[in-house]
Amino acid sequence: MADRARRPTLADVARLAGTSTAVVSYVLNDGPRAVAPQTKAKVEQAIAELGYRRNPLASALMAGRSNLVGLLVPDSSNAFFSELAREFEREGKARGFLTLIGNTAYDPAVELDYERAFADLRPRGIFVTSITGDAESLDGCPRIYVHSAPAGASDPCVLFDDVGGGIAATRHLIGQGYEDIHCIAGPDDFGPSGKRERGWQKAMSEAGLTTEGRLHRVSFERLGAENALRPLLAKPGRPRAIFATTDEQALAALRAAAEARLTVPKDIAIVGFDGIREALNGSSRLTTFALPLAELARRAFEVLDGWNAADNPSHIIAGALQRGETS
């Protein structure tokens, strides 16, 4: 019973065909040495009888390459990163790649550990949504930063126009007549959220509006953000409008507003950023700056196709403001 459950090996095929494992390998790889037609037929018959399947990872390690690609994201439980991962899996599958996903938990050390571990599998490349300010060499393994990259990264980057998006989202609120516009940003000014924050600051400054006392740093995780925003929206001097640098934070603000019995947009206007499905099509819809994730994945794989870290410039992709029904 144990023998039946065991996956057939190259040695099993050779034993049944009455030949050597080297000859079986020649048949499987169509070389490098020719195999007599009669012997080849015996090997093929043994393969069929045993149901032998090649181990693609073992073959990849021998050949120095594989059909694997890695994708590192901070948190796949976050709707934005789960939707980003889905687009990379979809694009990879269409190109014959298997996508391995790692969660870095917003920890630079975990990110570096994952990069090393993935590189040991000799993938075609690793796509990294980076949360670290540092990077180290991966010994020739292609690494492409997507969505977020360390400052001054030498590897190719495919990023969104986060500063421009922050400007556009803030100008939308200004165009609606709002002046008391607060920004809900991440715990620090690193990465895309920090760039969107700078876009808010620039648009406010250009309109002659103050940002003093209007920047609020909260968690990217929805429940944590909601807990932090409840006091802000419950007090009398609450914001008249909010630009949230992610949709998770915008949805948290929406929930905190509902708990404070505020109506959106009558009592408070909220604009998010990312364009996740829940924000655009859920029961509580938002106005949000939607990012084209499918285009990000497609361009990232195109960069991988012609990868050369020294010659590949950064690619910047613009999104577009999309309006929901309630904000």
Q: Cβ distance 125 to 307 under 8 Å? A: yes
61 found inside a domain: no
Q: Which tokens hold the place of 3? A: 């023998």
Which of 270, 289, 293, 292 is CA-nearest to residue 280? 289
Same domain, 243 and 172: yes
- Asked whether the beta carbons of 52 and 13 are under 8 A apart, the reply is yes
pLDDT band at 3 (very low <50, low <70, confident <90, very high): very low
* φ, ψ of residue 281 in degrees (nearest 5): -130, 5
Summarize pLDDT for 106-165 with one digit per residue, the tens. 898 999 899 989 988 889 999 999 877 666 667 678 999 999 988 778 888 999 999 999
Q: Based on the domain organization, do 35 and 126 belong to the same domain?
A: no
Location of structure tokens 């939607």 = 290
Residue range(s) defining the domain that contains residue 218: 162-290
Same domain (yes/no): 190, 302: no
Sign of the Cα pseudo-torsion (272, 277, 281, 282, in order): negative
Q: The domain that contains 37 carries what CATH number?
A: 1.10.260.40
Alpha helices in 190-316 (DSSP H): 191-206, 222-234, 247-259, 277-281, 293-305
Task: Answer yes or no: is 120 within a domain.
Answer: yes
Mapping DSSP to helix (H, G, I), strand (E, B) and coil, where does residue 241 land? strand
- 125 lies in the same domain as 267: no
- Residues 172 and 281 both lie in one domain: yes
- One domain for residues 24 and 144: no
Question: CA Rg, the chain, in Å?
Answer: 26
| Residue 186 and residue 285 in one domain | yes
Residue 323 belongs to a domain? no
Q: Is residue 59 part of a domain?
A: no
Phi, psi dihedrals of residue 191, rounded to the nearest 5°: 75, -165
Please check whether residue 284 lies inside any domain of the structure.
Answer: yes
Position 327 scores a pLDDT of: 43
Residues 181 and 222 in one domain: yes
**Tokens representing residue 62 in the block:** 């021998």
Phi then psi for residue 21, to 5 deg, are -65, -30
Give Cα 109 to chain centroid, integer Å: 18
The total domain count for the chain is: 3
pTM of the predicted model as reported, rounded to 2 decimal places? 0.79
Same domain, 182 and 272: yes
pLDDT exceeds 50 at position 16? yes
Is residue 240 included in any domain, yes or no? yes
Which is higher by pLDDT, 20 or 161? 161
Identify the CATH number of the domain in which residue 274 sits.
3.40.50.2300
- Asked, for residue 279, whether it belongs to a domain, the answer is yes
pLDDT band of 268, cuts 50, 70, 90 = very high
Strand pairing of 68-73 and 215-217?
A: unpaired
Indicate whether 166 and 247 sit together in one domain.
yes
Same domain for 267 and 193: yes
* 308 belongs to a structural domain: yes
Q: Is the pLDDT of residue 5 over 70?
A: no
| 171 and 74 within one domain | no
Strand 215-217 to 287-290 pairing: unpaired
